[in-house]
């Protein structure tokens, strides 16, 4: 007979079993929190948290007067998400005039369906309240001056990274710092929360260049015109403000449209093309000879038409009998320049060129700048020394030549030219030659235009400059029929405001000399720039 006791051993077996399981449950619950929480939280985050980067606005690049040279604008694109419905699409198509037809199989992934929405379109899309449509912000970089200045400014690519030129040099400060935000999504991958900003993006800094958009416009316009007229391959222009040490214009042709996705990058010849500039360098060595007192500017030298050095002939186009130092410059006498170079000696010449900033990188830091070299061969021959005197055996880029000429404008002082307005890195000017020597060279440069090789450089303003017609190198020697014609000058000669360098690469052989090709280009650019700058001409 069974005793009816509620709390019999069987009861306890069951209760203990249940307690044991309960204990196991609580233990497991704690164990999960202690051991696996981090792993589980991670697994969860992977499923329902999406992170998105917030792109900062790239800084604007302005010219010195606040005209934008590169500017980012916001653009909105419309995306269709997975399972976007056909009926909504019809509605949208009627409203926006969407080109895209609805794919027969529907959208199986996020697809761009309309670029560059305007504000009305954005509002009407929002009013549809369709959760399978997403509007995304995008920054678009615009270059208002386009190809006029593209080789200097460069561009920033799709990913917003500066690729060339100023965009590249100052990419760090222009690009700012990316922020990020997170969203929660559900298992259907739909975003179900408002964005939660984790890091606020830091917008890029704006940059003010020393470039003057108007002067740049003239520089590029006349450069292109001149290249077209001379059936040339290319050319470049540099304009410096001697007083403020600003680079006002850097033009290079051929150029490209930085606004186009299919842009074909062209190099910036001003910084990347170093070449043997020829006669435009003559005043550099001569100025040192005057500076050292080897000659006065009006010392006369007797000059044969031809001289033979190391068995190689150097000749002028005519026999001058005798020329003053100034006339050697204005007539661009090879024989004269050779004599002076030999008198000066190799060490002096090399030192001089270096003082003027040749064969070393310029402070602007243009990417892959080609800063040239000086022929420093051991046992250098007299012919090679003479060649250095008239600009061979040395290469330089246009920017270096312009900066070197600014020494004549700045009373013998070498200034550091900036591309960035109010650059903190102010260098003390360095004395290169005496101010008297500089003035003497300026006068000679004026003669070049008044009645020398550079007559076509004449403007309403009194200027000084120097022509150069250099043979290009082909194979192991010089090409007889390929030239780079240059002109570099200072204008107006009294105020010494601007240094302008121009060159034309491979002009037509009908007229190829610096005097015929480059001097007129200098004239047009100088005339227009000075008028724009409202410089008075009291001639």
Partner 1 sequence: MKADNILIISFVSLLTIGLIMVASSSIYIAENLTGDPFFFVSKHMLFLGIGIICLLIFLYIPSDFFLRTDWLFLLLSLTLLIALFIPNIGTEVNGSLRWIDIGFTNIQPSEVIKFSIILYIAGYCYRRNHEISTLRSFMKPLALLTVISLLIMSQPDLGTSAIIAALVIGMLFYAGISFFQFILLLIVVISLGVIAVVYTPYRFARYLAYLDPFHPDVVLGSGYQLSNSLISIGQGGWFGVGLGNSAQKNFFLPESYTDFIFAVTVEELGVIGGIFLICMFLMLFYGILRVGWFSMKKERLFQSYICFGVFLLISIQVLFHISVNIGLIPTKGLTLPFISYGGTSLLVLMSLLGIVFRINNENKLI
The residues that touch partner 1, with contacts defined as CB under 8 A, are: 1-2, 4-7, 10-11, 13-14, 18, 21-22, 24-26, 28-30, 32-33, 36-37, 39-41, 43-44, 47-48, 184-188, 192
Instruction: Report the residue number, 7 or 293, with the smaller CB distance to partner 1.
Output: 7
Q: Closer to partner 1 by CB, 7 or 534: give it.
A: 7
Q: How far is the CB of 193 from partner 1 (least distance, A)?
A: 9
Q: How far apart are CA 391 and CA 327, in angstroms?
A: 17
3-state SS, residue 47: helix
Q: Are 517 and 453 in contact (CB under 8 A)?
A: no
Q: Toward partner 1, which CB reaches closer, 13 or 200?
A: 13
Q: How many of the other CB atoms lie within 10 Å of CB of 191? A: 15
To partner 1, the closest distance from the beta carbon of 34 in angstroms equals 10
What is the C-alpha to C-alpha distance for residues 463 and 443, in angstroms, rounded to an integer? 9
Q: Closer CB to partner 1, residue 17 or residue 173?
A: 17
In the complex, least distance from residue 87 CB atom to partner 1, rounded to whole angstroms: 16
Nearer to partner 1, 188 or 354 (CB): 188
Asked if 205 and 59 touch (Cβ cutoff 8 Å), the reply is yes
DSSP-assigned beta bridge partners for residue 111: 80
Instruction: Name the minimum Å distance from CB 5 to partner 1.
Output: 7
Report, in Å, the least distance between residue 84 CB and partner 1.
17
Residue 538: half-sphere exposure toward Cβ, Cα within 13 Å: 3
Q: Residue 250 forms beta bridges with which residues?
A: 238
* Straight-line distance from the first to the last Cα atom of the chain, in angstroms, rounded to the nearest whole number: 141
In angstroms, the CA 453 to CA 466 distance is 8
Q: Is 516 left (phi over 0), alpha (psi -120 to 50) or beta?
A: alpha
For residue 14, give the DSSP letter.
Answer: H
Phi, psi of 29, rounded to the nearest 5 degrees: -60, -45
Q: Residue 128 Cβ, how far from partner 1 at the closest point, in Å?
A: 18
With beta carbons less than 8 A apart as the criterion, state whether 525 and 271 touch.
no
Minimum separation from the CB atom of position 88 to partner 1 (A): 16
Shortest separation between residue 11's beta carbon and partner 1, angstroms: 6
Contact 87, 213 (CB under 8 A): no
Residue with smaller CB distance to partner 1, 13 or 509: 13
Q: Which is nearer to partner 1, 2 or 480 (CB)?
A: 2
Find the shortest distance in angstroms from Cβ 174 to partner 1.
39
Using the minimum distance from each CB to partner 1, give the nearer residue, 47 or 460: 47
Cα–Cα distance for residue pair 221/148, rounded to 1 Å? 8
**Crossing angle of helices 346-355 and 282-291, rounded to 10°:** 110
User: Which CB, 132 or 243, lies closer to partner 1?
Assistant: 132
The distance of closest approach from Cβ of residue 120 to partner 1 in the complex, given in angstroms and rounded to an integer, is 31
CA atoms of 130 and 532, how far apart (whole Å): 56
Closest contact distance (angstroms) between CB of 92 and partner 1 is 22
Helices (H), 418-460: 435-451
Whichever of 1 and 74 has its CB closer to partner 1, that residue is: 1
Minimum CB separation of residue 54 from partner 1 in Å reads: 22
Give the Cβ contact number of residue 454 at 10 Å: 31
What is the per-residue DSSP string for 329-395? HHTT-HHHHHHHHHHH-HHHHHHHHHHTTTTS--TT--TT-----B---TT--HHHHHHHHTT-SB-
Whose Cβ is closer to partner 1: residue 52's or residue 221's? 52
- The CA distance from 513 to 381, in Å, is 28
Q: In this structure, are strands 61-62 and 207-208 parallel, antiparallel, or unpaired?
A: parallel
**For residue 88, cis peptide bond before it (omega within 30 degrees of 0):** no
Q: Which is nearer to partner 1, 18 or 479 (CB)?
A: 18
Phi/psi region, residue 311 (left: phi>0; alpha: psi -120 to 50; beta: rest), is: left
């Amino acid at each position: 007979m069974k005793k009816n006791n509620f709390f019999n051993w069987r009861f306890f077996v069951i209760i203990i079993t249940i307690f044991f399981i309960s204990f196991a449950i609580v233990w497991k619950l704690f164990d999960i929190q202690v051991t696996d929480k981090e792993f589980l939280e991670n697994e969860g985050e992977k499923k329902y948290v999406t992170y998105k980067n917030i792109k900062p606005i790239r800084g604007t690049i302005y010219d010195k007067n606040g005209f934008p040279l590169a500017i980012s604008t916001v653009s909105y694109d419309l995306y269709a998400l997975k399972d976007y419905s056909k009926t909504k699409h019809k509605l949208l198509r009627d409203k926006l005039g969407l080109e895209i037809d609805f794919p027969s199989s529907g959208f199986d992934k996020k697809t761009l369906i309309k670029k560059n929405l305007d504000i009305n379109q954005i509002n009407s899309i929002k009013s549809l309240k369709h959760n399978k449509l997403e509007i995304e912000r995008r920054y678009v970089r615009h270059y208002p001056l386009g190809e006029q200045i593209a080789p200097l400014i460069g561009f920033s690519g799709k990913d917003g990274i500066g690729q060339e030129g100023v965009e590249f040099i100052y990419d760090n400060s222009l690009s700012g710092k990316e922020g990020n935000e997170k969203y929660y999504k559900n298992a259907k991958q739909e975003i179900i929360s408002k964005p939660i900003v984790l890091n606020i993006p830091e917008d890029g800094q704006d940059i003010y260049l020393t470039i003057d958009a108007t002067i740049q416009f003239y520089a590029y316009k006349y450069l292109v015109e001149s290249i077209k007229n001379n059936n040339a391959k290319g050319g470049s222009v540099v304009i410096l403000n001697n007083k403020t040490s600003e680079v006002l214009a850097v033009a290079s042709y051929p150029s490209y449209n930085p606004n186009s996705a299919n842009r074909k990058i062209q190099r910036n010849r001003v910084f990347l093309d170093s070449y043997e500039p020829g006669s435009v360098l003559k005043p550099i060595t001569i100025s040192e000879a005057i500076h050292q007192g080897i000659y006065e500017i009006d010392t006369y030298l007797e000059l044969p038409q031809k001289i033979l050095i190391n068995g190689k002939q150097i000749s002028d186009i005519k026999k001058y009998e005798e020329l003053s130092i100034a006339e050697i410059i204005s007539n661009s006498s090879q024989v004269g320049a050779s004599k002076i170079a030999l008198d000066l000696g190799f060490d002096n010449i090399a030192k001089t060129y270096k003082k003027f900033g040749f064969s070393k990188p310029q402070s602007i830091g243009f990417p892959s700048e080609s800063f040239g070299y000086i022929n420093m061969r051991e046992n250098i021959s007299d012919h090679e020394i003479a060649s250095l005197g008239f600009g061979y055996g040395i290469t330089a880029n246009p920017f270096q030549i312009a900066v070197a000429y600014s020494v004549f404008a700045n009373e013998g002082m070498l200034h550091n030219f900036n591309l960035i307005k109010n650059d903190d890195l102010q260098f003390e000017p360095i004395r290169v030659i005496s101010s008297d020597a500089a003035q003497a060279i300026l006068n000679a440069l004026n003669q070049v235009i008044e009645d020398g090789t550079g007559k076509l450089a004449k403007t309403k303003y009194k200027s000084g400059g120097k022509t150069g017609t250099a043979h290009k190198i082909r194979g192991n020697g010089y090409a007889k029929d390929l030239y780079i014609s240059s002109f570099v000058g200072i204008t107006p000669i009294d105020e010494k405001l601007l240094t302008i360098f121009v060159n034309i690469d491979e002009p037509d052989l009908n007229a190829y000399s610096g005097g015929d090709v480059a001097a007129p280009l200098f004239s047009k650019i100088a005339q227009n720039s000075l008028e724009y700058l409202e410089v008075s001409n009291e001639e």
